[in-house]
Amino acid sequence: AFALSAESAAAQDFQKHHITAGLGAGLPLDELGAFYNPGFSWSFGYGYRPFRNLQFDAGLDTVYHSADVNSYVSNPTFGFLRVRDFEYMVPLGARGVLPLKDGRFNVYGGGGAAYIRYSESLEQPSGFFRVSCPFCRSRDGWGYYFLAGGDVALTEGGGLRLGVTTRVYQVTTSGPSVGQLPPVETRDRWVNTYIHLT
């Protein structure tokens, strides 16, 4: 009876809160690939695991300068200030988790809803001043995403893990032109891959 209860307690022993940070690349495909380029990307996310095999996710992926916006705004005080583009992606969903080798390795897949915003932003002269950008444009939209990945424990008990995750976004965006993307509704696909620490 003691061995059975110990085994049951061990089965319930898993980490519930997961904070993940990663670096990688965002790859625009299909219709979007004609107007945007692959770009450097970072990812940050939080996951809550109520059960060993189920995790709820919320996060932020950001791709830099994929639309190749490289213009300047003249300011009477600070001179010419650079305008660049940023692509923001917010995944909200869940994943199924398959622990292997007593939890040393995890394999997972999942998906959910996704929000994407493309934005032009002014490079601020310093942290003490905020210059407005009347010419900066943005567009956004909702869709969905899928993910697949895995990780390996770096420490005893799996408190720190190294992994790779790919997210595929399919979102419809609309609004003003950002970069060379036309100011009409477009179906945008991204494939973002990250190496991350959890």
77: tokens are 């005080």
Supply the pLDDT for residue 125: 65
Residue 62 has pLDDT above 70, yes or no: yes
Query: What pLDDT digit, counting tens, does each position of 122-178 carry?
Result: 676 666 777 677 778 899 999 999 999 999 999 887 789 999 999 999 999 999 989
What pLDDT score does 24 carry? Answer: 97
pLDDT band, residue 73 (cuts 50/70/90):
low
- What share of the chain in percent tops pLDDT 70? 85
CB 178 within 8 A of CB 67: yes
pLDDT in tens, 29-56: 988 989 999 999 999 999 999 999 999 9
Is the pLDDT at 2 greater than 50? The verdict is no
Q: Is the pLDDT of residue 187 over 90?
A: yes
Q: What is the pTM of this model?
A: 0.85
Mean pLDDT of the chain: 86
Is 80 exceeded by the pLDDT of residue 58?
Answer: yes
